[in-house]
Amino acid sequence: MSKKYFGTDGIRGKVGEAPITPDFLMRLGYAAGKVLVSEQRSHKGDHPAVVIGKDTRISGYMLESALQAGLSAAGVDVLLLGPMPTPAVAYLTRALRAQAGIVISASHNPFEDNGIKFFSGNGTKLPDQTEQAIERELESPLITMSSAQLGKARRINDAAGRYIEFCKSAFPNELDLRGMKIVVDCAHGATYHIAPHVFHELGAEVVAIGNQPDGLNINQDCGSTSPKSLQAAVVEQRADLGVAFDGDGDRLIMVDGSGEIFDGDRLLYVIAKYRQQRGQLKGGMAGTLMTNLGMEHALEKLGIPFARANVGDRYVLALMQERGWQLGGENSGHIICLDRHTTGDGIIAALQVLQALRVAKSSLSEYTSEVRIYPQVLTNIRVSKGFDFRGNAAVQQVVAEAQCDLESSGRVLLRASGTEPVLRVMVEGRDEEPVQRWAETIADAVRQAAVK
């Protein structure tokens, strides 16, 4: 069964346009309350509880109130965390023994957008069947519980402190960050009052940037999706390195002392290499269709098994669980360490990288010197809705010719966007010239086929 509202990462859209409107969010809160916490009362009179956190977008106030009203109408108590990273909500849902967690965030999108993500009581994203059940419940009328059965709401005032301690627990007690100067870019997002404290309390000298949210500046020319300000600050401050998160704190990129950017692929390599050298790597590592081929080859040299999932951290997690692996992620900076958390967490991932560097007494560039990131060209081509590129002989002929030419030193990937009528063409390989040439040739073939 296809889903009408839920995408690969919850429900997302422009604020004020369906479905991100107050009336829909109230109905969504009611539907989620009915589905997620049905038959959860363990004692007569008890109310199930749902945790709500949000990032720093101005629309979060409005959407939080709407969700709270819907949940209360369904007889669900609400625990309000305020601005809090997405992985913090996953952790606090478990820690507070809530039946579910909700995050109000559009991640790395601009402030005009917002979205809703759900976590189950064990801190993992909801399975498809639960999301489908919520959508079915949305079709039912909202029937408010009797006054005596309405849910209550209260704020968890020490939520930030609880999560800071949780993050610090992911770093070994025998290590610290003394003597390190770290620039921390919080993207004016949900980590603004969390991440600087974590690194400072572990001993680092911290220079915080992107930590003055005003409701409108989240992800604006800062954070993991726009690292130029981090690069400049690291060089200007003569820092050892820099870390940047996205608006909801589940993505990470890092910058070394020279200002060089290290994306999710190379950071995953650091963690995998360190754990393998110490016999702590369980199985292999999961990536996605977009993981750089150079990363795969570097892991192969270390003897580390590697497998690709579809793009999206939920698919990476599913592959990890299927194979019993503990490490996986995306080049965008979603990094999942299942032995540390149930979901991707930018702060915890950064601490895993720092642990490896501290023990090895190495820099990022030195520790990843064996990794050669291959040139990669990604082109987005607008096509008619339902365009069947797999069944088009002309397109498939060009793709076959490209793959034959690149052989094992290159890769061609075509995939349709899940949110717009766009076909994404990706070509990568050891040498830039054939990669660029084949990317343009395939793109031209798609354009010609798509207009016929």
Catalytic hit among 59, 72, 105, 107? 107
Question: Is 107 annotated as catalytic?
Answer: yes
Backbone phi and psi for residue 47, each to the nearest 5 degrees, phi listed first: -110, 135
Nearest to 272 by CA among 234, 298, 309: 298
Nearest to 450 by CA among 379, 380, 377, 389: 389
Residue 437: how many other CB atoms lie within 10 Å = 14
CA distance 193 to 86: 14
CA distance 347 to 283: 23
Question: Catalytic site residues?
Answer: 107
